[in-house]
Amino acid sequence: MTAVRSQPETGHHDGEHVPQGKQQYYDALRTLSQASVDQHFEAFRDIAWDDPQLQPRDDDERFVLTDADEIGRHPWYKSLPRERQIQVGAYRYAQVAKVGGQFEQILIAGVMHHLIGMENGNPEFRYAMHEVTEETHHIQMFQEAVNRLGEDVAGAPRWFVRFAPLITSIGGWFPELFFVGILAGEEPIDHLQKSIMRAGGSHPLIDRIMQIHIAEEARHIGFAHQYLEHHWPDMGPVKRRVMNVMFPIAMRVLCDVIMVPSKADQRAMGIPSEVVKEIWWDAADSKKLLRDLFGDVRMLADNLRIRKGPARLVWKALGIDGESSRFRSAPSSARG
CA distance 190 to 168: 21
Give the span between the Cα atoms of 102 and 104, in whole angstroms: 5
262 located within any domain = yes
DSSP annotation of 13 reads -
The mean per-residue pLDDT over the stretch 249-273 comes to: 97
> pLDDT tens, 305-323?
999 999 999 999 999 999 9
Residue 119 has pLDDT above 60, yes or no: yes
Name the residue range of residue 266's domain: 21-26+41-47+56-317
- Domain membership of residue 15 (yes or no) is no
Using an 8 Å Cβ cutoff, are 292 and 332 in contact? yes
Burial of residue 223 (number of CB atoms within 10 Å: 0-12, 13-18, 19+): buried
As a whole number of angstroms, the distance between CA 284 and CA 287 comes to 5
Confidence of residue 5 (pLDDT cuts 50, 70, 90): very low
How many structural domains comprise the chain? Answer: 1
State residue 160's pLDDT score.
Answer: 97
Model confidence at 326, pLDDT cuts 50, 70, 90, reads: confident
Q: What is the pLDDT of residue 57?
A: 95
| Predicted confidence (pLDDT) per residue in 59-71, tens digit | 999 999 999 999 9
Residue 10 lies in a domain: no
| Residue 190 is assigned to a structural domain of this protein | yes
- Mean pLDDT across the chain, nearest whole number? 92
Residue 205 lies in a domain: yes
In this prediction, residue 330 carries a pLDDT of: 64
C-alpha span between 241 and 11 (Å, rounded): 29
Query: Is position 324 within any domain?
Result: no
In a domain, 9, yes or no: no
Domain with residue 69: its CATH number is 1.10.620.20
Percent of the chain with pLDDT over 70: 91
Residue 307 placed within a domain: yes
Up-side HSE of residue 72: CA atoms within 13 Å toward CB? 20
pTM reported for the whole predicted model: 0.91
pLDDT value for 329? 61
Query: Which among 300, 226, 222 has a CA at the least distance from the CA of 36?
Result: 222
